Chain A
Amino acid sequence: MTLALPLFRISFLIKEPQGHLGWSVCHARMTPADDNEDHEQRARANAELIRRMAGGDRDALAELYDKLARPLYATARHILNDAAEAQDVVHDVFLTLWENAASFDSARGAAFSWAVTLTRNRSIDRLRSRSNRARLLGDSVPSDLGYDAEGGFIGGDDLAQLGDRAAAVRSALAELPPDQQKALELAFFSGLTQKEIAEKLSEPIGTVKARIRRGLLKLRDMLAHRL
């Protein structure tokens, strides 16, 4: 019997010579059932690690670090554009998770979302506290996601190392119209307010809000059960 399930595209990042968003897609095959199962398993596994951490289990902390450290560090580093500060942020975030593990409620959201939100907020706080904020914002919010920065470019040898989730996110993001991609990138990584984003894009703030809404709704639909 032939399975007639729809095919989802899994994209992998490659560098495009002409720049802009620097994303292109390669395709792999994964079924929605696989996605859903993986998503639920990951969520349950992370919640279990947090529960063990609440009981003082440092091995659970080590396992959670192995699962989350890379995207958290990449996020902090991309926002701050500084490796040392990114390490400090990730260090603080994991200690916060460790000390407040008992307050985690899986019904309110995924552990991954909690950790990313902590990382992003602390990175942005540091960014805003810098005295040379304007210059650093200019450096840390490039016109694209900055894959020409040190270590940012993922060459062919690294493609295999990319996780399914990262690939799925990048694939989904690459399918959005460029103006929506840009709005989402700035909203997540820049630490700018909506007004500042509008000024940076030279667009009315209403337009920016609409792009963020449309882009994030599409992203949600494309990434359902895949994070």
Chain B
Amino acid sequence: MIDERHEELAAQHAFGLLEGAERAEFVAAMEASPELRRLVAELTLAATGLAHAAPEATPPEELKARILASAAGRVPAAAPARPPAEVIAFPAWVPWLAAAALGIAALWYGREYSAAQAENGRLQTDAVGALAALHQAQAQLDQERGAALRSLEETQSELARAKQMVTDTSRRVAELSAQLKDQGELAKLKIATLASMLGNSPAAVAVAVWDPSRAQGVLSVSKLPAAAAEKDYQLWVIDKRYPAPVSAGTFVVDPVTGEAHVVFRADKPVDAIAKFAVSLERKGGAPSPQGPIVLISP
């Protein structure tokens, strides 16, 4: 079954209207399809039949004579017959000459054959040598490649170890930095021991630790007798900036153990603490020391 496109191309081909690649493509399709060739033949016949549709015109009488005269001087391509072949008689010595030539040719070809065989042997030897050299070069290349791979693996291992060392060192540096920071902050602490000023309680003792960065401190008291009900112990901070001690609050000791642990802050900003002192004041404390000093730092 021929599709419309090929019918269209066949019609154009019948009029010689196809060109270039389109024509080449159609000719190829036509060669592959007897059905398409038949269609083209039919359409070509119909197309050339249009010659009958041209306006009638009669060629002049002399045209026929002219054509026949021209044809008389020309021979159709396949018309001439070949003349019979001429028989040539050979002299008697020709066969001997031919035999001698054949003998010489045989000798020459035999020598050429031997030379070719020898050359072939040499070429095969060269080929074997070249093949061995090739295998050796390949083996050497494989060995060098293996060494290079091992070296690469070692370098990668060393690199990994170096990275680990850097990580460990960085962590250690961080730890040391933290320690140094802690030590620095510890160095800034004000630590003082307060000794008893009471004749009846000479063992009473207290330790005050002041952290200037936080503006607060810790007081730990032991073996201090409990104050009377209407009294309170009051902690004082003595700073040279102020003419009078600065209150740091009151506290109560355990009447059984005589201990107290309090976190304190000064009522005023202090930065140059010289001493700590504890006095016995009225209940709730006093704005300035009025009672007896019971504990004091050196």
Contact of B63 among A90, A98, A216, A220 (CB under 8 A): A90
Closest chain A CB from B297 CB (angstroms): 115
> Cβ of A109 and Cβ of B41 under 8 Å apart?
yes
> Cβ of A213 and Cβ of B42 under 8 Å apart?
no
Closest chain A CB from B270 CB (angstroms): 105
Q: Does B222 count as interface, using CB distance less than 8 angstroms? A: no
Task: Find the residue from B15, B17, B49 having the highest chain A CB count within 10 A.
Answer: B49
Q: Mark A169-206, 1 if CB is under 8 A from B, else 0.
A: 11001000000000011011100011000000000000
Looking at B6-14, B89-97, B164-172, the stretch in contact with chain A turns out to be B6-14
Contact of B51 among A55, A58, A72 (CB under 8 A): A72
Which residues of chain A in 140-157 are interfacial with respect to chain B, using CB atoms and an 8 Å cutoff? 145-147, 149, 151-154
Which residues of chain B in 42-56 are interfacial with respect to chain A, using CB atoms and an 8 Å cutoff? 42-56
Complex contacts, A154 vs chain B, CB 8 Å = 55-56
Q: Does A56 count as interface, using CB distance less than 8 angstroms? A: yes
Closest chain B CB from A157 CB (angstroms): 12
Complex contacts, A212 vs chain B, CB 8 Å = 8, 11-12, 15, 17
Chain A: interface residue total (CB-CB under 8 A): 77
> Cβ of A87 and Cβ of B17 under 8 Å apart?
no
Contact of B49 among A72, A119, A145, A165 (CB under 8 A): A165
> Cβ of A151 and Cβ of B64 under 8 Å apart?
no
> Cβ of A58 and Cβ of B52 under 8 Å apart?
no
> Cβ of B50 and Cβ of A194 under 8 Å apart?
no
A56, B78: Cα distance in complex, Å? 9
Complex contacts, A194 vs chain B, CB 8 Å = 12, 17
Interface of B is mostly: helix
Q: Mark B19-51, 1 if CB is under 8 A from A, else 0.
A: 100000000000000000000011111111111
Q: Does A121 count as interface, using CB distance less than 8 angstroms? A: yes
A161, B17: Cα distance in complex, Å? 33
> Cβ of B67 and Cβ of A103 under 8 Å apart?
no
Q: Does A91 count as interface, using CB distance less than 8 angstroms? A: yes
Complex contacts, B79 vs chain A, CB 8 Å = 54-56, 102
A184, B12: Cα distance in complex, Å? 10
Complex contacts, A72 vs chain B, CB 8 Å = 51
Complex contacts, A209 vs chain B, CB 8 Å = 8, 11-12
> Cβ of B63 and Cβ of A87 under 8 Å apart?
yes
Closest chain A CB from B67 CB (angstroms): 5
Complex contacts, B58 vs chain A, CB 8 Å = 70, 73, 151
> Cβ of B71 and Cβ of A169 under 8 Å apart?
no
Contact of B54 among A56, A77, A216 (CB under 8 A): A77
Given known A169-B53, A216-B46, contact A210–B67 (CB-CB < 8 A) = no
Given known A170-B52, A213-B4, contact A70–B57 (CB-CB < 8 A) = yes
Closest chain B CB from A30 CB (angstroms): 15
> Cβ of B59 and Cβ of A120 under 8 Å apart?
no
Complex contacts, B52 vs chain A, CB 8 Å = 71, 163, 165-166, 168-170
Interface of A is mostly: helix
Which residues of chain A in 5-23 are interfacial with respect to chain B, using CB atoms and an 8 Å cutoff? none
Complex contacts, B15 vs chain A, CB 8 Å = 187-188, 212, 216
Chain A residue with minimal CB distance to B41? A109
A91, B14: Cα distance in complex, Å? 24
Closest chain A CB from B28 CB (angstroms): 17
A196, B51: Cα distance in complex, Å? 21
A168, B51: Cα distance in complex, Å? 12
A217, B11: Cα distance in complex, Å? 8
A185, B56: Cα distance in complex, Å? 15
> Cβ of A217 and Cβ of B55 under 8 Å apart?
no
Chain A residue with minimal CB distance to B67? A94
Q: Does A47 count as interface, using CB distance less than 8 angstroms? A: no
Q: Does A110 count as interface, using CB distance less than 8 angstroms? A: yes
> Cβ of B51 and Cβ of A151 under 8 Å apart?
no
Given known A58-B68, A95-B70, contact A151–B57 (CB-CB < 8 A) = yes
Closest chain A CB from B65 CB (angstroms): 10
Complex contacts, A61 vs chain B, CB 8 Å = 67-68, 71
Chain B residue with minimal CB distance to A147? B55
Complex contacts, B8 vs chain A, CB 8 Å = 209-210, 212-213
Q: Would you list the 3 A-B pairs with minimal beta carbon distance, nearest first?
A: A152-B55, A102-B78, A166-B52
- Contact residues of A with B, CB < 8 Å? 53-56, 58, 61-62, 65-66, 69-75, 77-78, 83, 86-87, 90-91, 94-95, 98-103, 108-110, 112-113, 116-117, 119-121, 145-147, 149, 151-154, 158, 161-163, 165-166, 168-170, 173, 184-185, 187-189, 193-194, 209-210, 212-213, 216-217, 219-220, 223-224, 227
Can you name 10 A-B residue pairings with CB atoms under 8 Å?
A: A55-B79, A62-B68, A71-B52, A73-B59, A95-B71, A103-B78, A152-B57, A166-B56, A213-B11, A216-B47
